[in-house]
C-alpha cells in the first residue's frame, strides 16, 4: 500500500475498457488494463458502473477478472448504505467515455464506427498529476 488516499472509482465498460461493440465484447482499449492495475495496486476501489445487465454484465465482469483487475463492486457501492439512502452509486471519480472531461480518442481504425473511446494515456497522465497513482 502507498500513502495515497483510497478512492471509489466508477468505471464504465463499453468505450472505456473495451471498444464500443455492445452487445459483443469489443477489442481491448490500449492502456486500460495497465492503468486499472495501477489503480488497484495503490489501493483504490474499482466499481464497475455500466448499463450492461445479466449475461452481458457477467461478460464484462469476467473480462476484468480474467485480466487480473479486482473489482470492489458492480453497479453498487456497498459502503454508502451506512450514510445515505440515495440510489446514486457514490464514487469519488468516474472514468467513462460519456463523462465530460474524460480524455477521448475517436475510433477510426479497424473499420470502427468513429465512436469516441477513452484515451488511457491521457487518463494516466491526469491520475499522475493528481497523485492518484
Ligand atoms: Mg460507455
pLDDT digits (tens, 9 = 90+) for 33-62: 999 999 999 999 999 999 999 999 999 999
Would you state the pLDDT for residue 113? 63
Answer for the pair 49, 12: CB distance below 8 angstroms, yes or no.
yes
Would you state the pLDDT for residue 99? 95
2 — pLDDT class (breaks 50, 70, 90)? low
Spatial separation of the C-alpha atoms in residues 31 and 113, rounded to whole Å? 21
CA distances from 6 to 14, 42, 59, 77, 110 (A): 25, 8, 27, 14, 37
Helix-then-strand count for the chain, H and E: 3, 6
Would you state the pLDDT for residue 114? 78
Question: Cell match 497522465: residue?
Answer: 125
Q: Where are the alpha helices (DSSP H) in the chain?
A: 32-41, 54-66, 120-129
| CA–centroid distance, residue 59 to ligand 1 (Å) | 15
Q: Residue 46: enclosing H or E segment and its boundaries?
A: strand 45-48
Query: Rounded mean pLDDT of 7-33?
Result: 96
| CA–centroid distance, residue 113 to ligand 1 (Å) | 14
4 — pLDDT class (breaks 50, 70, 90)? confident
Given a cut of 80, whether residue 8 has pLDDT beyond it is yes
Spatial separation of the C-alpha atoms in residues 32 and 43, rounded to whole Å? 17
| CA–centroid distance, residue 3 to ligand 1 (Å) | 31
| CA–centroid distance, residue 16 to ligand 1 (Å) | 6
Would you state the pLDDT for residue 1? 47
| CA–centroid distance, residue 39 to ligand 1 (Å) | 19
**pLDDT tens, residue by residue, 82-124:** 999 999 999 999 999 999 999 999 976 655 567 899 999 999 9
Length of the chain: 133
| CA–centroid distance, residue 116 to ligand 1 (Å) | 9
Spatial separation of the C-alpha atoms in residues 128 and 133, rounded to whole Å? 5
Would you state the pLDDT for residue 10? 98
Amino acid at each position: 500500500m502507498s500513502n495515497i488516499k483510497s478512492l471509489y472509482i466508477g468505471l464504465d465498460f463499453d468505450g472505456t475498457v473495451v471498444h464500443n461493440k455492445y452487445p459483443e465484447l469489443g477489442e481491448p482499449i490500449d492502456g486500460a488494463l495497465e492503468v486499472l492495475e495501477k489503480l488497484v495496486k495503490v489501493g483504490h476501489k474499482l466499481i464497475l458502473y455500466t448499463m450492461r445487465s445479466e449475461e452481458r454484465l457477467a461478460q464484462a465482469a469476467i473480462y476484468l477478472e480474467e485480466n487480473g483487475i479486482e473489482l470492489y463492486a458492480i453497479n453498487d457501492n456497498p459502503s454508502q448504505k451506512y450514510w445515505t439512502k440515495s440510489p446514486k452509486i457514490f464514487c469519488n471519480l468516474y472514468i467513462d467515455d460519456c463523462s465530460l472531461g474524460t480524455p477521448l480518442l475517436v475510433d477510426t481504425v479497424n473499420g470502427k464506427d468513429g465512436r469516441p473511446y477513452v484515451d488511457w494515456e491521457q487518463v494516466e497522465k491526469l491520475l499522475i498529476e493528481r497523485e492518484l497513482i
